[in-house]
Amino acid sequence: MTQSADQRPPVVARRDRGALILILSGEFDLDTIAPVTAAFDQAMTGPEAVVVDLAEVSFADSTMVNLLLQAHRALGTRFRLAAPSPPVRRLIDLLGLDGVLHLHASVDDALAAGPSTPSGSG
């Protein structure tokens, strides 16, 4: 039995093919972003690629966008976004960030996009 997005934790972390995958579910704004911030802070300390699965995000505001941009600046090509939901994709497009953030149609595509660790560390 699968859980609905309302019953899932806001962030689930797993590892696959040498990358950390953060699966986000639900709505994210100033009042609900804390679990995502904590997960990103922890993810940015490691050497592996970080793939953020956005398929189950039903709402995101500028707080989420700011967090995505901070992670992008910190991790560069090791930070990838996968399967942005329609509301997230609309927000990214509206802000003109589709050419800035590393967007992929699926988690598999994001994992296949490049090395999971920086040059010389893996």
Q: Does residue 1 register a pLDDT over 50?
A: no
7 pLDDT tier (thresholds 50, 70, 90): confident
Average pLDDT for 1-21: 82
Given this model, what pLDDT does residue 114 score? 76
Indicate the pTM of the whole model.
0.89
Mean pLDDT of the chain: 91
Q: Does residue 121 register a pLDDT over 50?
A: no
Domains of the chain: 11-111 (3.30.750.24)
Given this model, what pLDDT does residue 120 score? 39
Q: How far is CA 59 from CA 107, 110, 112, in A?
A: 20, 22, 27
Given this model, what pLDDT does residue 32 score? 97
Interaxial angle between packed helices 34-43 and 62-75, expressed in degrees from 0 to 180 and rounded to the nearest 10: 0
Instruction: Count CA atoms closer than 13 A to 5's CA, side-chain side.
Output: 13
Q: Does residue 6 register a pLDDT over 80?
A: no
Strands (E), 9-70: 11-16, 19-28, 49-60
* Interatomic CA distance for residues 113 and 108, integer angstroms: 9
Given this model, what pLDDT does residue 117 score? 54
Please write the tens of the pLDDT for every residue from 44-103.
998 999 999 999 999 999 999 999 999 999 999 999 999 999 999 999 999 999 999 999
* Interatomic CA distance for residues 31 and 77, integer angstroms: 29
